[in-house]
Structure 1
Amino acid sequence: MFVGREYSCFAEDGTKPTLIFVSSRIFGCSKRQTRLTALDIVAFMSADPDEDPHQFCKMEPHELEYATRRVTDQSLKHTLEFGIGIHHAGLPERDRKVVEELFVEAKIMVLISTSTLAWGVNFPAHLVIIKGTEYYDGQLKRYVDFPITDVLQMMGRAGRPQFDSEARAVIMVHEPKKNFYRRFIYEPFPVESSLHEQLTDHLNAEIVAKTIRTREEAIDYVTWTYFFRRLTANPAYYDQQAALLETPDFEKQKDMLANYIERLMNKCLDELIRSGCIELREAQVSPGGVASAAVEPTKLGRITSLYYLSHRTVAQFQRTLAREGLGFVEIMRVLCECPEYDELPVRHNEDKLNAEFAEHCPLEVDLAIQAYDSPHTKAFLLLQAHMWGIALPINDYKTDLKSVLDRSIPLIQAMVDIAAEEAQLRSTLNLILLLQCLHQAHQPWRTSLATLPHLSEKSLKVLRDYSVDSLPELIERRDANKLLTKLSLPSAEAHKELLQIVQDMPRLRMRVELRVLDPEDESKPPEDEEEGKDGKPKRRKGKLVAAPYKVPPDSELELTVILCYDNEPMKFVHAPRFPKKKTYSWWCILGDTEVDELVSIKKALMPTRQRFEKRISFQFCSPADEIGETFTLSVLCMSDSFFGLDQQLDLSITTVEPHGD
């Protein structure tokens, strides 16, 4: 609707750079806008017989050919021929760098970008065009305005130091809002704080960091923020009651502000208490003689702060994971329903696209609690497409999937911590399994061999004929190279790549040691404990127990899990379809599979060196019941990234009469 006017703004002069901003994908519009706008401008130039359609291209033919060879996006290849570049988050990084380089060097005169470029990179231009000031909000199901700060930032790209004595910024806006933007541009506009809208999570982080220990310290902390400065200058903006009770009396104003701050603090702290993130202890008397309730973080509060999550998200996870063990699909649904995905963009008419997309996904959408225009439903469909290898309907979904995957990792790690606190073994195992599947773009019910590249169904059948049904069976074979030559691989390069991956896969070895710890000397004060070389408390002495494990009842036991690699494995996980390159680690879990109880869980970060030993210790007590009771504990070592390389040891422990040495 704007392209004709847009083209007329800069068609008179193709010698100065022009930057066009369209709706950013963060605000719910799609990268399609950059592509469609560029193609429409090309069409306008081609349709005008008096205009040179290549007037914005300042490259020689050989330069243009080299530039188009360097990019992979087909739309970008086409528009570069006309001197028009496109820039959005869904563009490959290499393509973005090429476009940025060409625009900075004035090889192309027009760059069409999403509004996020105004914040990320400084690319000034002589002319800036803001193509509309609204974006479609999938949650509200209507168009809403850009934040004023974004419009200012985009306008600020107009003007090149040392090149321009003047610059132009054109804002294309709906007619009824024209006076508002004119007033906003030419008159001073105060910058207000939004801290009060996110204060709950902010306070939780400060409580975890011990910056805030009491309710009074929380109030004092807020008085040192910019929010408090703006509150005193413009109280009506933050407190509707202040707007109704405006008074010139300074003391009354002071009382109103104090009342508002107290109400705000009570609201935020009450929310954290309801979410289980903090606890209030008994009132303590300060040196000034004032009693103040102590504020202390809980385990949930620490998890919220550690993974940068909303307190609402962690509370929702805790309520769900407190139930009996959840299955894999249930875990997926819980993940996608969390508040962290509220801002996932659902664009105009994408509800219809999601409904069609859902027909190709194996897991059904529960329409009783989900809708196709919900960002949570979209996240659920995107994760299915990633794990089952389903083609995405449009290119915009690729960038959406990347943002969903980026956020899913800390979310799942937080859920693992919460499930461990609830002693839920099955839920914890399924969470780690989901983490593996997301890294490997793999479904949990398929063979782990399918995570390797270049293996067709025919190749998998050949491997099965040689009794190789899983990834560990392949990487442990000494004749892996000979076996891979029997497969129908596409090329010699494919064989070489596959062999290298198989050889570099971590071959983890796990063994355990069980000790009966000596009783602690209760007469010795805790502060008198001996310290080891690293400053930590010296390891308690105990008697090593050999298999079959027989221990006295009601005794303190220490189980040490010893991990090492039998090779020098890859430093980064092989996950070609995961958007980021990452290292990997292992979870060691001690649990009782019969009663679905998780005893303890620890994460092990191991250097990729052969024969380096990592020791993880768990302490627990044997049952105090009758002699001769046998109980079984399982030790599981699970990767956070590789699918199919998990290991499990079952320990059968029997209580016997203690006897002297």
Structure 2
Amino acid sequence: ACETQLPVSFRHLILPEKYPPPTELLDLQPLPVSALRNSAFEGLYQDKFPFFNPIQTQVFNTVYNSDDNVFVGAPTGSGKTICAEFAILRMLLQNSEGRCVYITPMEALAEQVFMDWYEKFQERLNKKVVLLTGETSTDLKLLGKGNIIISTPEKWDILSRRWKQRKNVQNVNLFIVDEVHLIGGENGPVLEVICSRMRYISSQIERPIRIVALSSSLSNAKDVAHWLGCSATATFNFHPNVRPVPLELHIQGFNISHTQTRLLSMAKPVYHAIMKHSPKKPVLVFVPSRKQTRLTAINILTTCASDVQRHRFLHCAEKDLVPYLEKLSDPTLKETLVNGVGYLHEGLTAMERRVVEQLFSSGAVQVMVASRSLCWGMNISAHLVIIMDTQYYNGKIHAYVDYPIYDVLQMVGHANRPLQDDEGRCVIMCQGSKKDFFKKFLYEPLPVESHLDHCMHDHFNAEIVTKTIENKQDAVDYLTWTFLYRRMTQNPNYYNLQGVSHRHLSDHLSELVEQTLSDLEQSKCISIEDEMDVAPLNLGMIAAYYYINYTTIELFSMSLNAKTKVRGLLEIISNAAEYENIPIRHHEDNLLRQLSQKVPHKLTNPKFNDPHVKTNLLLQAHLSRMQLSAELQSDTEEILSKAIRLIQACVDVLSSNGWLSPALAAMELAQMVTQAMWSKDSYLKQLPHFTSEHIKRCTDKGVESVFDIMEMEDEERTALLQLPEAQIADVARFCNRYPNIELSYEVGDRDSIR
């Protein structure tokens, strides 16, 4: 072994300031639901609970009886969503046609809140509740008619960037941000930018937009609250142990470094933890992957059978399960459910997930095993939560990495049944070396820092296009609205500052702005005049309009040319920066290698662990309508959610250069992606329920277009298609809506055309 000693200087180290103590939970009389003083509002809660919990009671007056901006920091499962509802009810009391925007960083959470609030506010209070789609023209219509708009940060960023032209963005009365602690996460910069923008809009239109922020307990909540304009009296930052249901936490260490071996060694301890802490009450087990859900469910049942108590986790008659099991296609899942253990992963359909969740929530099935990524989208809770290992395989870096601490907190939060349990329990099974880490961060509030300084380019570009930033000074002023600016003075070394004087801060911001604008200039997104003024260029405007990365638009500009065809377009779009986070799972390269043999456009020297190669293959598989595994299908959906925007940006780049042929090819590709077919395929492929057999029967009879189908006699059509009546009705509906356009034209002044 070799050792080297180096002196480390702490001379210039500036420690962050000591954090203030958390908000004390006061011993208040629980507020009855009647405190809302409105019979319609009281009706929303009366059938669920008679009193609000201690946290809701303490924040009630500030949230419901004032218009102050409010910060509420409390552990997951503390009832913060009801605190947000207080603010909505306050807004509706003051203005029955008021507009509220609710932001949550997770798509799954947005859908969950939408379903809950649709029933609560639309069906009961007759207020329009809408969920944004990410498609700008649709979202503008939804924004115009919605009273309560539910969105992810990215979708609101797309809409609010052009706030000067969009009155409905300016007319927001209430802006609720859930899970605000995730500004420290991967997509945190977008969350930070939209919150800063709403405060900026409020200052520009000189009308208050109330902000209500909900978060986990934070050690630096004061900075977050100050950034969002919350006064000290409207900042509630409770300690992590302040839960409506007290939590008993056990952390179990395993001194095995190899991940798969460690998971194997945890199998029996999981069963023993169930028997010790929750032999009869509901149990939720989180595991790192989809594959592990099935393995763990089988392991629990195997150990249970060896205990000669095979059906101990099933709490209903087996015959009562039959109607539910008929809706499932996975034979292993059916088998485990019959024995009282269910599992959930990304590969199940929405219907299958609903069935399994229903069986667990009703108490018929006692144990549920769920994959890590579902912790944000599940509306179920248990008496005992077991976290079986805290590492997962990250395909991007081809290594096992730790769960984000916020995911762990979210999992722990599922051990929460306020009306049924006096306490919840949680067992965390992790590597021995991680025990102290979890002890610290699960018992104490977390600090949160900004990452905006690492990805400012796209946000700067968008603000330059909308003329919020017209020179370098505007860019510096823009940063003063951000959380990044607040934290730079509080924790300077974290942001590479050597001091906190006005000069240090000014120099650092100027350097940050200079570097960012210089990168945008090199990408031909903006121009810089007289080393001060900035103006958007065509590429920058295209990138901002279609919400794409500045490096992607640079790639398009450099790669597209007058001879680009569909094959080239697919390659260029697949290489967009937007796809660099498409997950590559363990051993998935073999699946992708097989897929590459089946697609029409073969790739040269593909690396099957490259997310861009995977994107290309899945786009081609989509156009060929290939059957894919559930995981690859969910990846395809993620790819398709961005594909049309990227193709439309290609059309704009090509048409700006006057290249007609590739521009038409890109337009055709957009239609191909929408219809999931290649341009050479039969037009009949667009029709619902049409398989290759149907198309072959039709072409054999000389029926080749939608119009041929429409012109057939009813009996002849029915005999040819051999479809059930309901499906024939779908085909008829499609045919009746199919556009029939006649185009006539003449060329004037032929001789002037070159």
What's the TM-score, normalizing by structure 1?
0.68
| Alpha carbons of structure 1 residues 42 and 210: separation in structure 2 relative to 1, 3 Å | farther
**1:332 aligns to 2:570 (yes or no):** yes
- 1:210 aligns to 2:467 (yes or no): yes
Residue 343 of structure 1: how far off its partner (Å): 0.6
What secondary structure does 2:527 align onto? strand
- C-alpha change, 1:231 and 1:501, in structure 2 (3 Å) is same
Q: Which residue of structure 2 aligns with residue 134 of structure 1?
A: 391
Distance (Å, rounded) in 2 between the aligned partners of 1:22 and 1:463 = 49
Deviation for aligned residue 1:224 = 2.2
Give the structure, 1 or 2, with the largest relative contact order (CA under 8 Å, sep 6 or more).
Answer: 2
Q: Which residue of 1 aligns with 2:660?
A: 425
Deviation at 1:121, TM superposition (A): 4.0
| CA-to-aligned-CA distance 1:601-649 (integer Å, 9 cap, x gap) | xxxxxxxxxxxxxxxxxxxxxxxxxxx71538xxxxxxxxxxxxxxxxx
Q: Deviations over 1:101-145 (max 9, x none)?
A: 333333322222233433334433222222222222222121122
Give the whole-Å Cα distance in 2 for the aligned partners of 1:334 and 1:10.
Answer: 51
1:594-613 correspondence to structure 2 within 5 Å: none
| Distance apart, 1:364 and its partner CA | 1.5
C-alpha displacement of 1:490: 5.3
Aligned counterpart in structure 1 of residue 646 of structure 2, from 411, 414, 417: 411
Q: Give the aligned CA root-mean-square deviation in angstroms.
A: 2.7
Structure 1 gap ranges (5+):
24-29, 284-292, 513-546, 552-627, 633-661
Superposition deviation, residue 342 in structure 1: 0.7
Bigger Rg over Cα: 1
- What residue number does 1:306 align with? 545
Q: Which residue of 1 aligns with 2:621?
A: 385
Q: Report the 3-state secondary structure (helix = DSSP H, G, I; strand = E; otherwise coil) of the residue aligned with 1:101.
A: helix
Structure number with higher strand proportion: 1
Whether the 8 Å CA contact 2:668–2:679 is kept in 1: the answer is yes
- Distance in structure 2 (CA, Å) of the matches to 1:486 and 1:105: 47
Q: Which digits, 9 at most, give the CA deviation of each residue in 1:404-442, with x for residues without a partner?
A: 222212222222222222222222222222222222222
Aligned equivalent of 2:506: 258
In the TM superposition, what whole-angstrom CA distance separates every residue of 1:279-322 from its partner, at most 9, and x where no partner exists?
A: 22347xxxxxxxxx22222332233223322111121112222x
Partner Cα distance (1:72, 1:353) in 2: 22
Deviations 1:550-587 (A, max 9, x none): 44xxxxxxxxxxxxxxxxxxxxxxxxxxxxxxxxxxxx
Q: Per-residue deviation at 1:373?
A: 0.8
How far the C-alpha of 1:488 sits from its partner, in A, is 6.0
AA in 2 matched with 1:18 = V
Task: Trace 1:19-168 onto structure 2 (pairs within 5 A).
Answer: 19-23=284-288, 30-49=289-308, 51=309, 53-168=310-425
Select 1:375's aligned residue among 611, 634, 639.
Answer: 611
Q: Partner of 1:474 in structure 2? A: 708
3-state secondary structure, aligned to 2:598: coil
Tell me what 1:516 maps to. none
Match of 2:443 in 1: 186
Contact 1:484 1:495 in 2 (8 A): no
Q: More helix per residue: 1 or 2? A: 2
Residue 348 of structure 1 corresponds to 586
Amino acid at match of 2:550: H
1:271 is matched with which residue?
A: 519
Report the secondary structure of 2:418's partner residue.
coil
Cα distance per residue 1:246-291 (max 9 Å; x no partner): x6xx64xx433332222221121122222222222347xxxxxxxx
What amino acid sits opposite 1:7 in the alignment?
A: Y
175-184 or 458-467, which moves further after superposition? 458-467
* CA 104–494 in structure 1, closer or farther in 2 if over 3 Å, else same: closer
1:332, distance to aligned residue in structure 2 (A): 1.0
Q: 1:472 to 1:485 in 2, by over 3 A?
A: closer
Note if contact 1:138-1:373 (Cα within 8 Å) is conserved in structure 2. yes
Structure 2: tracts of 5 or more residues without a match: 1-263
CA-CA distance at 1:443 after TM superposition: 2.3
Shift in Å at residue 20 of structure 1? 1.8
CA distance in 2 between partners of 1:31 and 1:100 (Å): 16
Alpha-carbon spacing, 1:329–1:151, altered in 2? closer, same or farther (3 Å): same
Q: 1:281 aligns with which of 523, 529, 547?
A: 529
For 2:515, give the aligned amino acid. K
Q: Name the SS for the 1:173 alignment partner.
A: strand
1:629 aligns with 2:754: no
Q: What are the equivalent positions in structure 2 for 1:202-241 lying under 5 Å apart?
A: 202-239=459-496
In 1, the alpha carbon distance for the partners of 2:748 and 2:424 equals 84
Distance 1:204 1:550, change over 3 A: closer
Partner of 1:195: 452
Equivalent pair of 1:454/1:489 in contact (CA under 8 Å) = no
Contact 1:484 1:499 in 2 (8 A): no
Share of identical aligned residues, percent?
Answer: 34
Would the alpha carbon gap of residues 390 and 464 (structure 1) be closer, same or farther in structure 2, given more than 3 Å must change?
Answer: closer
Cα deviation digits, residues 50-79 of structure 1 (max 9, x gap): x2x332232334432222234444443333
Length, aligned pairs only: 489
Separation (CA, whole Å) in 2 of partners of 1:427 and 1:201: 27
